[in-house]
Structure formats: structure tokens, C-alpha cells
Structure 1
Amino acid sequence: MPARRNSSDLRRLARRIFPGANPLRRRTDYFELIALLAVVLIAVIAVALAISTAQAELRGRLIEVDREQAGKHQVVATVLAEVDSASTTHRTVAVRWGQPPDEHFAVVNLPPRAPATNTVPVWLDQQGQLTAPPLTRGEATQAAGLAGAGVLIGAVLVTVVGLTGARLWVARRRLAAWAAEWERVGPQWRNHAS
């Protein structure tokens, strides 16, 4: 008995999706089938585009990671003093690195919860100037994931807006068709009711 019920459920689902030769079908009933096929097609294209975008972004970011890591190096600087700062988003400290006569001084910002130690790591470019830390592989992967997710979210939004607009259009067409049909049939029903 369960096999017969499953097959009747499948037939009912197929009749609902594919209007077929139902004598009561309206021309607008084909919209559901076309909309379903369009949504499936858009979903497949969006997933492929998101994967492609994420891979391209990852390749570009990994090249940037390699370039930055080759062009920057880390040194350990000695903290000389903490500089007064009105900011609560970072701590400002004066640091020194290198030995005389090649000694360098700078003021750097540390995270507010950075441990209070005598040394801090700083990043230098090839000219020996302070620079931001190089991009990491984790940050590159995160940027690629965000790019792919952005494509998917954009595709979902466009699909939902398009499908909603199309359904509203079809609903208006159905209502207009029903109103026109009632204008034609209504007077006949009124005559039978009396």
C-alpha cells in the first residue's frame, strides 16, 4: 500500500507542476512551470558564477599574499613609552628597533588588549619603513568566500524580486480574466437566481 501512495503522490506533484491536458487549466498556469525552470536555471548559473568568482578572487589574493610576504619582513621593536591617546580603539606606543648608527624610532598603534610587554613585532617594507602586516592566506580565503557569497546573495535577491514581480503580474492577469469572464457570465447567473 505505501508504494501505491508514493506513486499517487508523485503523479499529483507532476500534475501540479506540469498542467498538461487539464480542461480547467488557464493559460497563466504555465507560468508556474516556466518560473520553476527559470529559478532552477538561475540557481545553477549563480552557483557556477559564485564558484568561479571565489576562485578568481582567491587566485588574485594568493598572488598578493606571496608578493606582500616577499616584500615585507618583521622585526622586534622595544617599547620606549606609552603615548597619551584619546582613542579607545588602540594603544599608542613609541618604539625603537635596530642598533646605532642604524637605529629607528616610530610611534605605532597596538590593539587595546595587547599585552603590556617590553617588545612588539613591527613590519617593515624593503626600504625599512613601517608598514601594515602582510595579507595572510586566511584573509585571502575569507575575501574569496565573501566574494562568492556576495554573488549568491545578489542572485537570490534578483531572483526573488523578479519572481515576485512576475507572480504579481500573473495574479493581475488572472484577476482581469476572471473579471472579464464574470462580466460575460454574470448576467446569465442573475437571471437564473430570480
Structure 2
Amino acid sequence: MKLVIDGVTRLVRRYRPDGNPLRRRTDRWESAGLVVAALLILLSLWPATAAARQAYAGALATGAGRQQVRATLLADTPVTTLSFGEVGGGGLVSAGWTTASGRRHTGKVSVLSPAKAGAQLTIWVDRSGRPAPPPPSEAELRITAAATALMILGVAACLVLTLFAAFRHALDRVRYRDWTVAWALADDHWRQSPS
């Protein structure tokens, strides 16, 4: 924990605005660039929140109109013959069901365990009465929204930090150039001074 606190303290000391006469102009630019980068990342919260709400609404709309109905199997589940005997299992089986509007439908439904013709099971159907997956749960909706928000924030943070790194690299080049010029001037001064 002490390492984290020391690291944060060093960063604050490095980038805080102060009247230090040894702080170069490029150091002040770098501090300003860091403030701009932090503000841009904070500003990305708004589009991330908007995208999360849109993802939540979109996922909620995919499950809208789905309802549970009772279906009656029209055939037995398929039996698989193995070397040690026959195994009844699930699979797609013909079934019939009636929607809330009273329309009768038939089609293939997924059955997970062995069952005989005439057995009843509950299935989900869409607005047109076709078998459909169940609507997303509240937890799934929230996870979708949170994942969308985190993805937007992550992309924004990566982009902003990449731009800040490029800005800092450009400042380092200016610093190295200034350093080289200062050393050349110092070298000239030392060569000209009498021994």
C-alpha cells in the first residue's frame, strides 16, 4: 500500500502546477496535457452511459413479446443405439402449441430429456408463435449495459492515453533538442574561458 501512495505522491508532485523556477516550459505543457487527457476520459462517461442505456433498451426489446406456452409432443424423442444399449435423449421433436391469441402452431422444439408423444413441456415463443429463446433476465440486461459502458470507456481511455503518450514523446524530443543546445553552449563557454 505504501508503494501505491508513494507512486501517487510522486505523480502529483511531478504534474502539479507550481512556481518552481526549475520547471521547464515543456514540463508545464505536459502537466496541461495530462489535465486535458483526464478531462477527455471523464467526458467519455457521457457517451458510455448513453451507449449502456441503448444496449439495455435494445436487449430488452429483443425479448419483448415473448411468452411461455404449453406444448404437446407429437412424437417420441429419438432413441440412440450404442454398443451397450439404447439411450433415449433429447433433440428436436415435433410438437404442437396454442398461443395466447388462440392460434394453433406446430414445429420442432428442443427437448433435453427422453419423453413420449403426448408429454407436455413449457416453451418460449415469439410474437409470431415460433419457438424462441427465453427473454434476457434483468441480470443479463445489466451485464450487457455494463459491458457496453466499460468497452466505450476502455476504448476512449486507450485512445486518449495513446494521444497523451505521443504528445509526451514530442515534448521529450523538444527537451532532448534543448538539452543538446544547452550542452553545446556550455561547451563553447568552457572552451573560451581562460584556464
Q: Contact conserved, 1:68 with 1:135, CA < 8 A, in 2?
A: no
The match for 1:154 is 155
Q: Contact conserved, 1:39 with 1:159, CA < 8 A, in 2?
A: yes
The equivalences for 1:17-166 within 5 A come to: 17-20=16-19, 22-65=20-63, 67-69=64-66, 72-78=67-73, 80-82=76-78, 92-98=91-97, 104-106=106-108, 108-109=109-110, 114=112, 116-118=113-115, 120-166=121-167
What is the Cα-based RMSD across aligned positions, in Å? 3.3
Q: Structure 2 vs 1, CA of residues 58 and 105 (structure 1 numbering), >3 Å: closer, same or farther?
A: closer
- Structure 1's consecutive aligned runs of 4 or more residues displaced over 4 angstroms after TM superposition are 13-16, 190-194
How far did 1:173 drift?
0.8
CA distance in 2, matches of 1:128, 1:15: 65
Q: Contact conserved, 2:76 with 2:93, CA < 8 A, in 1?
A: yes
Identity of aligned residues (%): 22
- Structure 2, unaligned runs of 5 or more: 1-8, 81-89, 99-103
Q: Contact conserved, 1:77 with 1:122, CA < 8 A, in 2?
A: no
Cα shift readout 1:140-170 (whole Å, capped 9, x = no counterpart):
2222112111111111111221111111111
How far did 1:181 drift?
1.6
> Aligned letter for 1:135?
P
Q: Structure 2 vs 1, CA of residues 124 and 15 (structure 1 numbering), >3 Å: closer, same or farther?
A: closer
More helix by share: 1
Cα shift readout 1:92-119 (whole Å, capped 9, x = no counterpart):
33242349xx67342x456xxx5x2536
TM-score, normalised relative to structure 1: 0.67
The match for 1:188 is 189
How far did 1:172 drift?
0.9
CA distance in 2, matches of 1:56, 1:105: 34
Indicate the SS of the match to 2:124.
strand
CA distance in 1, matches of 2:156, 2:181: 37
Q: Contact conserved, 1:75 with 1:124, CA < 8 A, in 2?
A: no
The match for 2:6 is none
Q: Contact conserved, 1:28 with 1:170, CA < 8 A, in 2?
A: yes
How far did 1:176 drift?
0.7
TM-score, normalised relative to structure 2: 0.67
How many equivalent pairs are there? Answer: 166
CA distance in 1, matches of 2:33, 2:53: 30
Q: Contact conserved, 1:83 with 1:94, CA < 8 A, in 2?
A: no
Indicate the SS of the match to 1:132.
coil
Q: Structure 2 vs 1, CA of residues 177 and 120 (structure 1 numbering), >3 Å: closer, same or farther?
A: farther
Cα shift readout 1:58-113 (whole Å, capped 9, x = no counterpart):
23433444x333xx4333443722377xxxxxx633242349xx67342x456xxx
Q: Structure 2 vs 1, CA of residues 68 and 134 (structure 1 numbering), >3 Å: closer, same or farther?
A: farther
